[in-house]
Each structure stands twice: as structure tokens, then as C-alpha cells.
Amino acid sequence: MDVTGQAVKRARRLISVAAMVVALSAHVGSPNVYFEGNAGPYAVRVIVRAAAVVPGQADITVRVLSGGRPDAVTVVPVYWDPRTAAPPPADTARLVPGDSLLYSAQLWLMTGGSYAVRVTVSGAAGSGMVNVPVQAVATRRLEMGQGMALGLGAIAAFLVIGLITIARAAARESVVPPGEPPAPRNRRHGRIATGIATAGVGIGLFLGRGWWNDVDRAYQRTIYRPTGAHASLGSDGRFLLTLNDAVRDRRWTPFIPDHGHLMHLFLVRSDVGAFAHLHPVPTDSNTFATPLPPLPAGPYRVYADLVHESGFSETVRDSVDLAAPKGEAGDPDDGWWVAPRVIADTVASLGDGATMVWHRGAGPMVVGTDARLEFSVAGPSGKTAELQPYMGMAGHAVIVRDDGEVFVHLHPMGTISWAAQQTFVLRTAADTLAGSVTRKLVGHDAMAHEGGLASNLAFPYSFPSPGSYRIWVQVKRGGRILTAAFSTLVTEPPGRLPATRSGT
């Protein structure tokens, strides 16, 4: 291959290497971040959509749900480490045409790691602020388009040929009086200059190739690799999940409790006919253990949510084959569900005589549209049921696509981790040592940030890809953890060609 072709190939590879995405959600196959809560006197729904590169821009939308029309909505990215530079000036979100309460903005996330998008809303009702945690990490490469490759190749060829031509002309014609032909000596100097320039360009391209390779290797070291996990059964019958932290570096911070637990473990049978939400405890620095409830035997997908002290959230995953467990007592917050013969689309039994209704509306579930999953609970008599706080919230929901490539653990506040959000509330510039924020989190009351309970609960979300989904909603009533299950089919928007199924 000639020098120009090599340059084009190297340029294509560099841009392909440099292009990456920002994974804004710890959950599997569900990259966007959804938050619904209060910014002072204003109720807001915030959606953060993935950027294409790091550094790169993330798209932010803020919908004001109540409190009146504000005078201004601003957003600013706040990096988790207080030892870094101060946050940049806030960007003013602009009204989306045709909607008087929807605002949009774009933010640059300059460094990989954990951020909070700080949303400030101000108006006649006053001013309020809320932090929405997001993760900025490189996760994959993006291919460069053929058109751009050809364009860059043409530019490279033009520059190479131009440089050699200039060197040749400088040695051959620049010393010749105007209008006179070059002497044999000048032509010889031109040929020598052409050879030297060609050799110099070749050496430069060779050294550039080595630089591109160094960039490639450095980039591969920065690609986010989820913490590996191995699920197994101990000799005592307990479920064990062992983490492999070999991919981490010294910038990673310890785990912190989220809703009172270091780990939230989810077991989903491959046919989605059984489900468990458990809370293992650490037995050493890498292994978590828990008794198993009475689940049916079979192959299970394993998901576990973890939160770091930096505010970085991640979901690790594995699979395991379970024999029918004996059914031992575990954590009081553990809950599980085994499929009945009939699973209704909109009404489900909670097992204590109460029922849960999914108010899904008449239209189909469509990829990328605001689903806002709304449910209500009625007691055995059909009247409104009273709910108790379940790990500090009115309820928890888990959504899994039938192939397991989409998983998300939802709260009424959205996809974000409550503990991750609190790290940005509680951390000060003095909190530079591991464990300092964890100590502040201990005993912190989640319900103080969730408001009162009701029999109605909702979860902001948007399905990321088409397919058949199972939704489990968990509430607490009469001291028991109760689980309802629903099924739904999610389709592509009208007019869009069917996409290849993918979890990314």
C-alpha cells in the first residue's frame, strides 16, 4: 500500500478509536438517565441522553411538572472529585418550540467518571436545585463513515503531494531568475530535494503510525469494562456472588450502601417465570452471600446493582443454574415472585388479597417515548390500599427484556441511584479520603427526599429497544414485601424500519 493509503487507513483507525459513547446509566441496555422529583418548589422530570464522545456533549431535557412556568432553567456538570477544577459556568436551557414547560440544553462532559447534572429552576415560586447523577465512560468504538475517510484521504494526499512539490520547487526554481529555465544543476538539486522530502514524509508517516498505535492502546485501557462477577452456590446452600476487580485502577472508590444495602441482587429465571430481589452481605472484600428463597429450579440470569463512593453506579451480571432451594430466611427487605398460570397485562395479584393495576392507557408501548409507568394498589375490598415505605420509597420496579439484554432497576425518582445522588449533596471539598462520604450516608433518611406515600405510584422511563418485556413492581404492605408482575410488547415507532435487537 502506498504512503497515502497508509495515512488514510491510520486516520480512519484513529477516528474510529477516538469515537466513544458516554454510558449514562449503570443498567444493562438502558443508557439514558431518567429522574423525577423536586427542584425546590418545582416538580421536574429530567432526562439525560448519551453523548457520542468523551469529551462530548450530553443532551439534557427538563420538563417542569408543577410550580408554574419558571423564569430560567440552568444546568451545569459537577465532577465527583472535589480536587478537580471548579465546575464551569451554568448553561441556560432553552424552551423547546411548541412546549411552554419543556427545556433543553447540551453539556460537555470532559472527563471520564461520575458527574452530577445540577439543574436549577427559578421563577415566581422561588428557586430550587437538584442533582442528577450520570456516568461518563468510554464503552465502544464508532465506525467512521466512508465519505469522511475518502475526504481525509484526499486531504492527506493533497498535503503530501503539496509538501513534496514545494520542496522540489524551492530547490529547483526558487534560485532561477524569472523567465529562465532551470539549469541542469538546479534540476539535480530538485531531484535531491524531492527524494529528501519523500523520505522525510515517509518517516513522518511511519512515526505517526506508531503514535496512532500508542493512542489505540491507551484508548483500549480506558474503555469501561463492567466489573466481572461469578455466581455460584456455597457448600451451605447460600448464593454467592464473587466480584473480579482486576479491571479497576486506583481511581475507583469503595462501595456505599444504597437504600441500606451494599448490593441489590436480582435473579430472573430465563423464561421470566420467577424473580427475586435479594440483598447479599459481604463475606470478604470480593464475595457477597445470601440465603435463597423458595424459587423453582432452572437457569437464572443474575444482575447486581452497586454504587461507589464517587457516585459511580454499575450493574454486574452473570448466570447460574439453581436446583430448587430449600427456602431460607434472608434479609427482611428480600422479595420474590413465582409465575402463576395466568399473567394479566394490566391487573396482578399481590398475594395478600390486594391487587395492583397498571394504568398503561390504550395505545401501544413504543420505543423512545415517555412511558411513565403508573400503578395503583387496591385492598381485598377494592378500596385504596395503604402502603408502607419499602427501603425508603413507595415501591421499586424491575424491567427485563425477554432475552435479558435490557435490565433496569427503577424507583419513583427514576433510574438513578439515591445513594449516588446523595454523594453530591453530602460531599464537601474536604472529603478527599475514602470512607468520608460513606460515614455521612449512614443513617441518612431516604424518605426525607421522597415525600409521602400513597396507593398510587409511578416510575419515569422510556423503553430503549423493541421486544417482549416483563415488569415486576414491589411494594410493602402489612410488613410484607409484595410483588406484582406484568408483561408488555414494545414496538418501533410507526414508520421506522425494524432494528436489529441489541442491548446497547
Write the CATH number for 99.
Answer: 2.60.40.10
Q: Which of 136, 158, 192 is the last residue of a domain?
A: 136
- Note whether 214 and 239 are same-domain residues: no
Q: CA-CA distance, 258 to 306, in Å (whole number)?
A: 8
22 has pLDDT over 50: no
Confidence of residue 364 (pLDDT cuts 50, 70, 90): confident
**H-helix or E-strand spanning residue 373:** strand 373-378
Confidence of residue 17 (pLDDT cuts 50, 70, 90): very low
| Percent of the chain predicted with pLDDT > 90 | 45
Question: Which pLDDT does position 26 carry in this prediction?
Answer: 66
317 has pLDDT over 70: yes
Q: Provide mean pLDDT across the span 354-365.
A: 88
Cis bond before residue 55 (omega within 30° of 0): yes
DSSP annotation of 393: B
Q: Strand, helix or coil at 207?
A: helix
Confidence of residue 252 (pLDDT cuts 50, 70, 90): low
Q: CA-CA distance, 278 to 42, in Å (whole number)?
A: 35
Residue 342 inside a domain? The answer is yes
- Note whether 434 and 421 are same-domain residues: yes
- Note whether 56 and 190 are same-domain residues: no
Residue 26 inside a domain? The answer is no
Closest Cα partner for 17 from 186, 147, 212? 212
Q: Provide mean pLDDT across the span 208-237.
A: 83
Q: CA-CA distance, 375 to 394, in Å (whole number)?
A: 11
122 has pLDDT over 90: yes
Q: How many residues does the chain have?
A: 504
User: Which of the pair, 442 or 351, is modelled with greater confidence?
Assistant: 351
Residue 497 inside a domain? The answer is no
149 has pLDDT over 70: yes
C-alpha cell at position 215: 493512542
- Note whether 60 and 176 are same-domain residues: no
Q: Provide mean pLDDT across the span 204-219.
A: 84
Q: Provide mean pLDDT across the span 117-135.
A: 94
384 has pLDDT over 90: no
Question: Which pLDDT does position 215 carry in this prediction?
Answer: 81
Confidence of residue 10 (pLDDT cuts 50, 70, 90): very low
> Do 408 and 317 touch, CB atoms closer than 8 A?
no
Q: Which residue has the cell 443532551?
A: 59
Q: CA-CA distance, 487 to 470, in Å (whole number)?
A: 5
Q: Which range, 17-21, 49-53, 463-467, is most confident?
A: 463-467
Q: CA-CA distance, 120 to 125, in Å (whole number)?
A: 13
Question: Which pLDDT does position 504 carry in this prediction?
Answer: 37
Q: CA-CA distance, 21 to 47, in Å (whole number)?
A: 17
Q: Which of 155, 189, 222 is the last residue of a domain?
A: 222
Confidence of residue 478 (pLDDT cuts 50, 70, 90): confident
User: Which of the pair, 377 or 3, is modelled with greater confidence?
Assistant: 377
Please list the helix, strand and coil fractions of the chain in percent, rounded to the nearest 5, in that order. 20, 35, 45
402: amino acid identity, one letter: D
- For 137-253, where are the E strands, in sequence order? 228-233, 239-244
State the total domains in the chain: 3
Q: Which residue has the cell 375490598?
A: 381
Q: Which of 222, 252, 281 is the last residue of a domain?
A: 222
442 has pLDDT over 90: no
Residue 498 inside a domain? The answer is no
Phi, psi for residue 480 in degrees, rounded to 5: -110, 145
- Note whether 372 and 470 are same-domain residues: yes
- Note whether 79 and 184 are same-domain residues: no
119: amino acid identity, one letter: V
> Do 396 and 446 touch, CB atoms closer than 8 A?
no
- Note whether 470 and 321 are same-domain residues: yes
Closest Cα partner for 142 from 56, 21, 23, 59? 21
Question: Which pLDDT does position 303 carry in this prediction?
Answer: 96
- Note whether 290 and 431 are same-domain residues: yes
CATH number for 482: 2.60.40.1930
Domain containing 43 equals 33-136
Residue 280 inside a domain? The answer is yes
310 has pLDDT over 80: yes
DSSP annotation of 364: P
Confidence of residue 301 (pLDDT cuts 50, 70, 90): very high
- Note whether 13 and 61 are same-domain residues: no
Residue 203 inside a domain? The answer is yes
Confidence of residue 352 (pLDDT cuts 50, 70, 90): confident
Please give the C-alpha separations between residue 72 and each of 35, 238, 289, 327, in angstroms, as whole numbers. Answer: 19, 54, 49, 55
**pLDDT tens digits, residue range 51-75?**
766 777 889 999 999 999 999 999 9
- Note whether 93 and 233 are same-domain residues: no
- Note whether 307 and 394 are same-domain residues: yes
Q: Provide mean pLDDT across the span 91-110.
A: 92
242 has pLDDT over 80: yes
Average pLDDT for the chain: 83
Q: Strand, helix or coil at 308?
A: strand
**pLDDT tens digits, residue range 168-197?**
888 887 777 887 888 888 888 888 989 998
User: Which of the pair, 371 or 434, is modelled with greater confidence?
Assistant: 371
Confidence of residue 216 (pLDDT cuts 50, 70, 90): confident
Identify the bridge partners of residue 116 per DSSP, sorted by sequence position.
Answer: 78, 133
**pLDDT tens digits, residue range 27-38?**
888 888 999 999
- Note whether 11 and 50 are same-domain residues: no
Residue 435 inside a domain? The answer is yes
496 has pLDDT over 70: no
Please give the C-alpha separations between residue 127 and each of 68, 69, 96, 124, in angstroms, as whole numbers. Answer: 12, 12, 21, 8
357-389: b (≥16 Cβ within 10 Å) or e: bbebeeeebbbeeebbbebbbbbeeeeebebeb
Question: Which pLDDT does position 19 carry in this prediction?
Answer: 34
